[in-house]
Amino acid sequence: MKALFSEESRLSAQLLVEAALARAHAEVGNIPAEAAEVISAKCRPEIVRLERVKAIEAEMKHDVMAMVTAIAEQCGDAGRYVHLGATSNDIVDTAAALGFKSALDIIERDLDGLIITMSALAFKHRRTVMMGRTHGQFAIPTTLGFKLAGYISELLRHRQRIMEIRPRVCVGKMSGAIGTGAGFGDRFFRIQDLVMKDLGLGQEEAATQLVCRDRYAELVFELGLISTSCERYATEVRNLQRSEIGEIAEAFDAKKQVGSSTMAQKKNPMLSENVSGLARVVRSYLAPQMECMVLWHERDLSNSSAERFILPHVAVLTDDILAKMNEVFANLTVNKQNMRRNIESANGFIMAEAVLLALANKGLGRQEAHELVRNVSMAAEAEGKGLKEALKANSTVKKLLSAKELEAVMEPDNYLGKAPEMVDRTIARAEAELGRKII
């Protein structure tokens, strides 16, 4: 991903655009076919070298014109046809679209890798019972696999969004100074069509001097969404790795890895913390990219300097975040013993809903059942008793539920709903969308 946004890659992409423009001019008869062949042959980074472009730019103070001059130097008489009818952003924005296309390919592969990793883990732990929590408090039982299934579904939505934004983001222009196509004459539409088809890009329907920046903002927003989802997963790992919970943890090499320079016992969720920090940086770039949508008239240059920071950073950081998240889940430590310990520490109170519904199924009104279980729960907690013990002593409960029935109702493994089946369905959907067998 870093290579995509290097100066070398930027020049290579811009050379591809200049070559495509020359071929389009030749196709419509504006320039000799031989000239287009020369320009196409010379528009390669090993011929039009970055060092030469930068040397010319140091004198001209204009990056695109420096490149055009460097190309023309290599093309002899054909050099007079380089950049014919175009403006700088025809080249810059179209080359950027080529970069976005490749960047989205990488992000999609990253997403696929993380989906595959999580799917394998979810299937393995589809029935691994653990505590569900709401408001930071014990709620009802769930499974680790079901928790991961929610993450997989979210990642599949991101994958869909990547596909949806491609035609809106991977868009170039070849329409001249303020987008009217005047510099290309009567053959403008044909030239722009030919260039974008040559490069495999969409085209801006009614450009100003540049491609509309709502497209760029959408790209940054989606990468911000992906990064924020990963921060959500990382935050869960960090929370569940807390000493008093200890249900899952990042892998730790006890032979060599160090958690603290002074607290020698420490095993910290460093990758997940890193992901959380980097995701915040990615999100921070959305505001300036949205500001770049607001330009004076047909264009100004206030977007350019900002975008040279924004676009490479959000792409590289999102790629890095996805890679790190994959590493976390590929090597995740799962402590089933602690999961059971935490469930048992709830002293039966997490089964209050199950009891309520069981009583309702026996004919007690739902609201009456709720009030009964609530009163018993509050009294039991105040007296330091477990919920099962308190329910066994309640005359209404004893009348409606036998001791055996109460035992079954209060078994956490019996109150998972369709969580395992939803894991299976989510993985099946992932396999269908990725077009490959995962499990």
Which residues are part of the catalytic machinery?
A: 135, 260
Please, is 200 exposed, middle or buried when counting C-beta atoms within 10 Å of its C-beta (0-12, 13-18, 19+)? exposed
Q: State the Cα torsion 322-293-165-233 to the nearest 10°.
A: 30
Alpha carbon of residue 72 to chain centroid: 41
User: How many angstroms separate the first and last alpha carbons of the chain?
Assistant: 29
Three-class DSSP category at 269: coil
DSSP single-letter state for residue 106: H
How far is 426 from 144, CA to CA, in rounded Å? 14
CA distance 17 to 3: 19
The residue among 260, 236, 258 whose CA lies nearest residue 247 is 236
Tokens standing for residue 323: 């890679």
- Contact criterion met (CB below 8 Å) for 226 and 324: no
Note the Cα 213 to chain centre separation in Å: 20
Question: Which are the contacts of 278, defined by CB distance < 8 A and separation ≥ 6?
Answer: 227, 317, 320, 321
The structure tokens 């299976």 sit at: 424
- Taking the CB of residue 208, how many other CB atoms lie within 10 A of it? 19
Q: Could you give the maximum distance between any two Cα atoms of the chain, in Å?
A: 102
Strands, E, within 326-414: which ranges?
333-334
Nearest to 219 by CA among 155, 157, 290: 290
Instruction: Quote the distance between the C-alpha of residue 250 and its chain's center.
Output: 21
Annotate 129-197 with DSSP letters as a single string.
EEEEEETTEEEEEEEHHHHHHHHHHHHHHHHHHHHHHHHHHSEE----TTSS-GGGGGGHHHHHHHHHH
